[in-house]
Amino acid sequence: MGADQAKANGPDLAAGVAFADLVDGKPLVGHAGDDAVFLVRQGQEVFAVGATCTHYGGPLGEGAVAGGTVRCPWHHACFDLRTGEAERAPALNPIACYDVVRIGDRVRVGDKRAPAAAHAGVASPAVLIVGAGAAGHAAAEMLRREGHQGTIVLCGADTDAPYDRPNLSKDYLAGSAPEEWIPLRPPEFYAEHRIELHLGAGARVTTLDTGARTATLADGRKLSWSALLLAPGAQAIPLDVPGGERAHVHTLRTLADSRAIIARAASARRAVVVGASFIAMEAAAALRARKIDVAVVAPEATPFERVLGAEVGAFLRDVHEAHGVTFHLGQTVKSIGDKSVELSGGARLDADLVLTGIGVRPVTALAEAAGLAVDRGITVDERLQTSVPGVYAAGDAARYPDPISGQKVRIEHWVVAQRMGQTVARNILGQHQRFSSAPFFWSVHYDVTLSYVGHAERWDRVDIHGTLADRDCTIAYRADDRTLAVATIGRDMASLSAESAFEKGDQAALRAFGRQR
């Protein structure tokens, strides 16, 4: 997944440093031999771990250390400092752990430890997972890491094995991420971990019988389960206009979609992107990287306005305009011809590629037909169990009670889906965990990366600390003086602090975010 090893520079930590030079909770980054390592003190205890995040290679030495863990500044993966285990997504692999040798007033990094042994075996039920995306894959892996001994069957209607979906609108589409970064695991991983992976149209689960605990697949196979996870995700909404079915009109949800757009982009000169939210605008940036003219058409006055507000939206529009994107806002698409797109205002835009990003719908029909409670998503409780015991749901399709906002929410973020899958795995094994992660996502537009923690569907005030133009700011979304969400640009530590404050329910701490304009 492109996790480059951080350069092993800085002090030689194998030679040692004075204990007094270690500041509590502040990593000291250096190296031990060729390995980038950091030492960090928590009270009297000192830890030595690998300094490179196993997700995309983020600098863990610049992350947040608390409670025996370190959180990555880039996309908030969390690692246990004692074992190196990746406790929370998006990282899936552990970081290295080293012995810490303390002699007198000096500490040094000793030998690299053997990877932590898998947890002791847990006699556990046969698990069926419907959907081999973010949530389904993360659940399957976590079941094995937690010692599950029973069978795991992972059914995915997609033809590709689980892959890094967020990359499909970013580096992969832009042509700067090679194909080998995209699978979450190599093919042999599934057999090695005894995860039965069934893929393709035949593996689509078509009916569920929750009484008999059986599922039927499209190819007629019947599977039984003791515990079931529904993680079918969401589907892109197609653009319902004359010409919307033409071959050069694409949606972007799957790896096959991204490949089809790349193939079309090879001969395309002008693209129309319909929609102005995250996936559409990331795709616009990727197409610009391929030197294709891009025009964006959307009904709103400002891109991203619904999620980020008008000021941040206007800033991101300027960023895209500076990269050559043109906008046709306050308009919709009337029809799509062979070589052009007609807008509601009457204008006609040349286009040999049309990419629509107008939103997604949660996949709930299977759950609904099986008699599960569905309310704009599959309804789950705080432990992510549906209305039927032993049946769980996670990811884009699930609506869960969010302890932070006190509301039932359905979130469409990669990290949330993975963490929900991980929580379901632990609950299948009887751990009774509440799902309490703060929602988090990131989005990339050229050299601007935005991180967002929390969930604000409506707000009455947006406070900004720092400046958007400098790409260095914290943006707080508030209602009735409660902070609902915090977005940051160029301030990864603030994003990590906000995540921690949300998870502690610390509204007093959150009040400081975005203040002192």
Ligand X SMILES: Cc1cc2nc3c(=O)[nH]c(=O)nc-3n(C[C@H](O)[C@H](O)[C@H](O)COP(=O)(O)OP(=O)(O)OC[C@H]3O[C@@H](n4cnc5c(N)ncnc54)[C@H](O)[C@@H]3O)c2cc1C
Can you give the binding site for ligand FES, defined by CB under 6 A? 53, 55-58, 72, 74-75, 77, 90-91
**Token pair 């752990």 is at which residue?**
97
- Among ligand X, ligand FES, none, residue 205 binds (CB under 5-8 Å by kind): ligand X
- Minimum CB–partner distance for residue 443 and ligand X (Å): 5
Helix (H, G, I), strand (E, B) or coil at 441: strand
Give contact residues for ligand X (rule: CB under 6 A). Answer: 130-136, 155-158, 165-166, 168-169, 203-205, 231-233, 252-253, 279, 363, 366, 395-397, 412-415, 417, 441-443
53 binds, among ligand FES, ligand X, none (CB under 5 to 8 A by kind): ligand FES
In the block, tokens 């830890």 appear at 47
Closest CB 457 distance from ligand FES, rounded Å: 26
Residue 77 binds which entry of ligand FES, ligand X, none, CB below 5-8 Å type-dependent: ligand FES
CB nearer to ligand FES: give 74 or 477: 74
- Taking the complex as a whole, how short is the minimal distance between the CB of residue 348 and ligand FES, in angstroms? 42
* CA–CA dist 39, 45 (Å, integer): 10
CB of 396 to ligand X, least distance (A): 4
Residue (160 or 506) nearer to ligand X, CB:
160
**Residue 387 structure tokens:** 């209305």
The nearer residue to ligand FES, 55 or 288, going by C-beta atoms, is 55
Q: How far is the CB of 75 from ligand FES (least distance, A)?
A: 3
- 133's contact among ligand FES, ligand X, none, with CB below 5 to 8 A by partner kind, is ligand X
Which residues, listed in sequence order, are joined to residue 112 by a DSSP beta bridge? 98
Contact partner, 496, from ligand FES, ligand X, none, Cβ < 5-8 Å per class: none
37 vs 53, beta carbon nearer ligand FES: 53
Choose the one of ligand X, ligand FES, none that binds residue 253, judging by a C-beta under 5 to 8 angstroms depending on kind. ligand X
Q: Can you say how many angstroms the Cα of residue 391 is from the centroid of all Cα atoms in its chain?
A: 23
Measured from the CB atom, is 385 or 500 closer to ligand FES?
500
In the complex, the smallest distance separating the C-beta of residue 349 from ligand X, rounded to whole angstroms, is: 23
Q: DSSP string of 75-98?
A: T--EEETTT--EEETT--SPPPEE
We find the least distance from the C-beta atom of residue 52 to ligand FES, in angstroms, to be: 9
Q: Which is nearer to ligand X, 18 or 201 (CB)?
A: 201
The residue among 309 and 395 lying less far from ligand X, judged by its C-beta, is 395
C-alpha pair distances (Å), 115 with each of 41, 84, 97, 266, 295: 22, 8, 8, 44, 50
SS3 category, 126:
coil
Render the burial of 481-493: b for 16+ CB within 10 Å, e for the rest: eebbbbbbbbbbe
- Quick one: what does residue 90 bind among ligand FES, ligand X, none, with the CB cut-off 5 to 8 Å set by partner type? ligand FES
Residue 294, number of CB atoms within 10 A of its CB: 25
279 binds, among ligand FES, ligand X, none (CB under 5 to 8 A by kind): ligand X
Distance CA 398, CA 380 (A): 7
- Ramachandran area for residue 180 (φ above 0: left; ψ -120 to 50: alpha; else beta): alpha
Torsion of CA 416, 418, 421, 426, to 10 degrees: -100
* Residue in the shown chain whose Cβ atom is closest to ligand X: 133
Q: Dmax over Cα atoms in the chain, in whole Å?
A: 79
CA distances from 163 to 126, 134, 139 (A): 24, 8, 14
Query: Looking at beta carbons only, is 244 or 490 nearer to ligand FES?
Result: 490
